[in-house]
Amino acid sequence: MTEKPAETAYPLHDLLRRRWSPRAFSSTPIEREKLGSLLEAARWAASSRNLQPWRFLLVEASDAEAFEKLAGTLMDANQAWARKAPLLILVCAQRSPDGGLARHAFHDCGLAVAHLTMQALSMDLWVHQMAGFSAEKARAEFGVPADFEPVSVLAVGYYGNPADLPENRRATETGPRTRKPLGEIAFRGTWGSAAEL
Ligand SMILES: Cc1cc2nc3c(=O)[nH]c(=O)nc-3n(C[C@H](O)[C@H](O)[C@H](O)COP(=O)(O)O)c2cc1C
């Protein structure tokens, strides 16, 4: 397992510190019980007005036809590694009843995915979120109704072997993780004045 813990100025919960987005997945299937826990974690996320706008379409590699359909919506660069994962999940957000995007539906989907991701890691499973897919294709392939919007696709599985990755992906797999400094993302009192933490 490649460990790339966050370098932090302040202590973090171990799961938050250890999480990253791997591309080297093992094709080992995920146990039913663990699948259940992943979805329970997502279900119990907070959401605006408790609308729970998230929907998760699970596609396991063992369901070859459906897997091919969802994998086929991914950008080529994502297909090159994500096809190895035993589970892909299409995340969709519910639109507001007037047909517009509910203001916080995408936010709430992200929150639910964060829950799922942390629960996954607690069970030794890894998640790689992808925006690089065709929402239109996913809608057509899976009959996503008009009042839902495809948001992302998740690759989920146990960690595999980085040596199996396409050559152009191996360096990033083991390379460092970077972040903006706290002073650039956290302000205090007025916009732009770094919160000196
Ligand atoms: C909404 C979202 C979409 C992403 N889309 C892709 C993607 O299409 N392909 C990819 O390889 N990584 C994708 N990523 C992974 C990010 O590149 C990654 O989270 C970021 O570089 C930070 O790295 P870390 O997650 O390892 O800390 C996505 C992440 C998020 C949250």
- Do the domain assignments include residue 117? yes
Q: Using the mean position of ligand 1's atoms as its centre, give its distance from the Cα of residue 76 in Å.
A: 15
In a domain, 141, yes or no: yes
The answer to whether position 38 is within a domain reads yes
Residue 139 pLDDT: 98
- Closest ligand 1 atom, CA of 151? 1
Q: Name every protein residue with a CB atom under 6 angstroms from any ligand 1 atom.
A: 20-21, 78, 129-132, 152, 177
Is residue 171 one of the residues assigned to a domain? no
Q: Which residues have CB under 8 Å from 77's CB, separation 6+? A: 132
Query: Does residue 43 form part of some domain?
Result: yes
CATH at 113:
3.40.109.10
In a domain, 176, yes or no: no
- Ligand 1, atom 9, residue with closest C-alpha: 130
pLDDT, tens only, 142-186: 999 999 999 999 999 999 999 999 888 898 999 999 999 999 999
Tell me which residue has its CA closest to atom 4 in ligand 1. 130
Q: Report how far ligand 1's centroid is from the alpha carbon of 22 (Å).
A: 9
92 beta partners: 55, 150
pLDDT confidence tier of residue 39, bands split at 50, 70 and 90: very high
Determine which residue's CA is closest to atom 6 belonging to ligand 1: 130
Taking only the tens place, the pLDDT of each residue in 85-143 is 999 999 999 998 776 677 899 999 999 999 999 999 999 999 999 999 999 999 999 99
- Max alpha carbon distance in the chain (Å)? 54
Range of the domain at 142: 14-162
How many domains does the chain divide into? 1
Any domain includes 179: no
